[in-house]
Amino acid sequence: MKQLHHHNRLLQISACISLMVASLIFPTAHAKKYTVGGSQGWNLGVDYQSWASQFNFQQGDTLYFKYQAGAHNVMQVSQSDYNTCTFKTPITKDDGEGNSTVTLQSSGSFFYICGVPGHCPGGMKD
């Protein structure tokens, strides 16, 4: 079970993603690695809802955020910060120089945004 929330606006120039991770069904030996956004990666104008709807994320899976160094970052934020595109107090932040990896340690909802000013509020979110 997964969720990815976004709302298409005229300017789809943000990178925001929300995931619902299902409870552990398979041992971590079956964990999978997902490149967020598929071949488009963690970039502006990607339809993350369509991308995520293809998968059943599980505890132990790895999310690989691939992006050009300096162009984006990856912040895990609370649901309220996700809803308002607030990134002053992220749970985690990774500038990753173009490669950020997150291993899903538990089941539940996880909210990720790009904290570059203007990217999150510019579109693609609920």
pLDDT higher than 70, residue 109 = yes
CA distance 41 to 24: 26
pLDDT higher than 90, residue 47 = no
Considering only residues 119 and 126, tell me which one the structure prediction assigns the higher pLDDT: 119
**Sign of dihedral through CA atoms 71, 40, 111, 14?**
positive
Identify the bridge partners of residue 77 per DSSP, sorted by sequence position.
111
88's tokens: 């002053």
Mean pLDDT, residues 8-34: 56
Superfamily (CATH H level) for 16-113: Cupredoxins -  blue copper proteins (2.60.40.420)
What percent of the chain has pLDDT above 70? 72
Quote the pLDDT of residue 21. Answer: 61
pLDDT higher than 90, residue 25 = no
CA distance 114 to 81: 12
Q: What is the pTM of this model?
A: 0.76
CA distance 7 to 85: 13
**Helix ranges (DSSP H) in 42-117:** 48-52, 79-84
Please give the helix or strand (H or E) that residue 46 lies within, else none. none
User: What are the extents of the domains in the chain?
Assistant: 16-113
pLDDT higher than 60, residue 122 = no
